[in-house]
Structure 1
Amino acid sequence: MNTNYDVIVIGAGPGGSMAARTAAEKGLDVLLVEKRQEIG
Structure 2
Amino acid sequence: MTKRYDLIVVGAGPAGLTAAKAARECGLEVALLERKTDITNLHRCCGQSLVSMNDYYFGDIFHFN
Q: Give the aligned length.
A: 40
**Structure 1: which 5+ runs fail to align?**
none
Q: What is the TM-score normalised by the length of structure 1?
A: 0.85
Secondary structure of 2:32's match? strand
Structure 2: 5+ residue stretches without partners: 43-65
Measured in 1, the distance between the counterparts of 2:17 and 2:27 equals: 16
C-alpha displacement of 1:19? 0.1
Q: Which residue of 2 aligns with 1:36?
A: 36
Distance 1:24 1:2 in 2: 19
Q: 4+ runs of 1 displaced by more than 4 Å?
A: none
Report the aligned-residue RMSD: 1.5
Structure with the greater relative contact order (CA < 8 A, sep ≥ 6): 1 or 2? 1
- Higher Cα Rg: structure 1 or 2? 2
